[in-house]
Amino acid sequence: MRITKLRMNLAAGICQFFFVFAVIALLLLSCVGPEALKDDGVGQSRVNIALLAGAARGGLVENNTMTGLEDESGIDAITGATNKTFTAGLHAGININGHRLESGLDYIAFDQSVRYTYPAGDYGQRDINFQQIRLPLSYNFLFFRNERNQVALELKVGVSLGYTFSKSITDYGNVPDYRFSTWDAGPTLGLAFYPWRSASGYRAGLYMDIYRGSRIYEDRYHTAEGMGGQSYLKVGIVVQR
């Protein structure tokens, strides 16, 4: 029953994502006219559209260091485990003074467990699965241009806003009450490397993003600064025009 429910949630999330993906793609393409996609004379389009897909790992930050907990807190240990999940996105970038301002829409899923171990061998476990739509905004520093002025490396510095549109939380044994926030936001840092750059203006390569944001999860053992916050690493392939 639990596996079936998770599969249904995942299928629903993927369908919702691709619906939003298609809508955003149509809006972006309708806003980006032919003149914007033309070469700017130095090998770069004024506006770039990128498709991203890859794997992610992360979720809420477990308090496995027992930060902020006293000896009388009534718990011996907090441990966690995360699984790899899927992420995809559609981004648009505008070239500004030799660098790029980038934004778009990302889908990302999370699958993790938090285990609470109490004295006398008592324990509980909370399985947390949730899916987000994220809105990133970054300023990209561009490096290593070829003879067509196409960039090989981008360093991205920015922020990201996340909205949790679907979640499934299952408890086993002795676990504390909790609160889960729908929204989170925080800084993000990323890299994109483009080893393949065509004369027609297409680029393909690899990307990596890391994020550490505001608290999305809170219980009596996750009240210290930074505990229960959202955090992830994602890597994948990117194709840009």
Per-residue tokens: 21: 């993906």
Per-residue tokens: 17: 């994502």
Contact 166, 12 (CB under 8 A): yes
Stated pTM of the model: 0.79
Contact 129, 108 (CB under 8 A): no
| CA pair distance 207, 103, nearest whole angstrom | 15
More confident site: 14 or 203: 203
Least confident window among 42-56, 71-85, 152-166: 42-56
Condensed to tens digits (0 to 9), the pLDDT of residues 65-116 reads: 888 887 656 788 999 899 999 999 999 999 888 899 999 999 999 999 999 9
Cβ neighbours for 109, distance < 8 A, ≥ 6 positions apart: 10, 13, 56, 85, 86, 87, 129, 130, 131, 132
